C-alpha cells in the first residue's frame, strides 16, 4: 500500500493511492497516517478495504509529510563509504547517530527555506524507515517486522552550522523545512529488500547523486537493532538511513551549495519522487 497525507499544512487528511494513481480518502477508517495507525492489525484492515469504494480526492491537493505527529526523527550519518570519503571522514566503526527536529518536517514538494545567512545549504537523498511496532533491544533477525514502511527523505543540511559552529551536527540538520518526507509511506510488504534500492537526486536538472542502498555500511536491520539498544523505538518514529555520494559538499575542486530559486528532484525506487523549490527564509 501507498499511504499518504493530503491537504493544507496542519489540516492534512489520511489517504491511499489506488492502482490508477488516484488518491482515495481514508478519513472514515483512520484519523491520520501516524503511529496509532501503523500497527500490523490496522494496516491489515486498511489492506482489506475495497479501494474503489473509497471517495476519490479531486484535483491536485498538496501532499503533506507521509507520517503525522512524528515522535523521533533519527538519522544515520556517513553510512555510505564513498560519502564518508567525499566528506573527508573515516568510515565509522559504529553508526553515527544524530537528530532532526520534528519542526523540520515538511511535505515532499513543499519549499525548502535557505536559512538567513546560510552559505552552505546542501542536499542528501535518503531511505526513510518508519517504525510500526514499539520495542527496545530488537534482535537483528526480527528488525524488519518492526517496520511499518519506507519513504523518501531529503536530509537537507547546512554544512557550516553542522561542522564549523561547534557542538553536535544537530544545529545544521534541523532547520525549518530541512526534512521533506514522502510522498508516500510504502508498506513493508511492497519492498522486497530495502537494502537494494536505487536512489538519486538532481539539482536544476543535473544529477549529483546516483546510488543504491546495497552499498550502505550498516544495513536496515542492523540500524534498527543498534538504535533500539539506546532508546525505545515507537510507532511513527522515522529513521533516515544515510546518503550515497554526490552531495554538494563533496564536489571537487569547488563545493556546490544551494541558493534561492533552485529545484531539487529526488527519488527512491518504488517509493516515489519529491521536488522542492528553494526560497530564502
Mean pLDDT of the chain: 96
- How high is the pLDDT of residue 86? 81
- How high is the pLDDT of residue 281? 95
At 4-17, the pLDDT tens digits run 999 999 999 999 99
pTM over 0.85: yes
Domain ranges of the chain: 2-53, 73-280
Cβ atoms 254, 86 nearer than 8 A: no
- How high is the pLDDT of residue 237? 98
- How high is the pLDDT of residue 85? 81
In angstroms, the CA 182 to CA 147 distance is: 16
At 181-232, the pLDDT tens digits run 999 999 999 999 999 999 999 999 999 999 999 999 999 999 999 999 999 9
In angstroms, the CA 106 to CA 122 distance is: 17
Q: What integer is the mean pLDDT of 223-251?
A: 97
At 126-160, the pLDDT tens digits run 999 999 999 999 999 999 999 999 999 999 999 99
- How high is the pLDDT of residue 6? 98
Torsion of CA 178, 102, 274, 25, to 10 degrees: -150
At 31-70, the pLDDT tens digits run 999 999 999 999 999 999 999 999 999 999 999 999 999 9
Residue 167 has pLDDT above 90, yes or no: no
- How high is the pLDDT of residue 58? 94
Q: What integer is the mean pLDDT of 83-91?
A: 82
At 252-265, the pLDDT tens digits run 999 999 999 999 99
What CATH superfamily classification does 73-280 receive?
A: Fumarylacetoacetase-like, C-terminal domain (3.90.850.10)
Confidence of residue 100 (pLDDT cuts 50, 70, 90): very high
Amino acid at each position: 500500500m501507498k499511504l499518504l497525507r493530503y491537504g493544507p499544512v496542519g489540516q492534512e487528511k489520511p489517504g491511499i493511492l489506488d492502482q490508477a494513481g488516484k488518491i482515495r480518502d481514508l478519513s472514515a477508517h483512520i484519523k491520520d497516517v501516524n503511529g496509532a495507525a501503523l500497527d500490523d492489525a490496522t494496516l491489515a484492515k486498511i489492506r482489506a478495504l475495497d479501494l474503489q469504494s473509497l471517495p476519490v480526492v479531486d484535483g491536485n491537493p498538496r501532499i503533506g509529510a507521509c507520517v503525522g505527529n512524528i515522535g523521533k526523527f533519527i538519522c544515520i550519518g556517513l553510512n555510505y563509504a564513498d560519502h564518508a570519503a567525499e566528506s573527508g571522514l573515516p568510515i565509522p566503526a559504529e553508526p553515527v547517530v544524530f537528530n532532526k527536529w520534528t519542526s523540520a518536517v515538511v511535505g515532499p514538494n513543499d519549499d525548502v527555506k535557505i536559512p538567513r545567512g546560510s552559505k552552505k545549504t546542501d542536499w542528501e537523498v535518503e531511505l526513510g524507515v518508519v517504525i510500526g511496532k514499539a520495542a527496545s533491544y530488537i534482535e537483528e533477525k526480527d528488525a524488519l517486522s518492526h517496520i511499518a514502511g519506507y519513504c523518501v527523505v531529503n536530509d537537507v543540511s547546512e554544512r557550516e552550522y553542522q561542522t564549523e559552529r561547534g557542538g553536535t551536527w544537530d544545529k545544521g540538520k534541523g532547520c525549518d523545512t530541512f526534512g521533506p518526507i514522502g510522498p508516500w509511506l510504502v508498506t513493508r510488504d511492497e519492498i522486497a529488500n530495502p537494502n537494494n534500492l536505487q536512489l538519486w537526486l538532481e539539482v536544476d536538472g543535473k544529477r549529483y547523486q546516483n546510488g543504491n542502498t546495497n552499498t550502505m555500511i550498516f544495513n536496515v536491520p542492523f540500524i534498527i537493532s543498534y538504535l533500539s539498544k539506546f532508546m525505545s523505538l515507537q510507532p511513527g518514529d522515522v529513521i533516515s538511513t544515510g546518503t550515497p555520494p554526490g552531495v554538494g559538499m563533496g564536489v571537487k575542486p569547488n563545493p556546490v551549495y544551494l541558493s534561492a530559486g533552485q529545484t531539487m528532484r529526488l527519488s527512491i525506487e518504488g517509493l516515489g519522487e519529491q521536488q522542492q523549490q528553494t526560497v530564502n527564509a
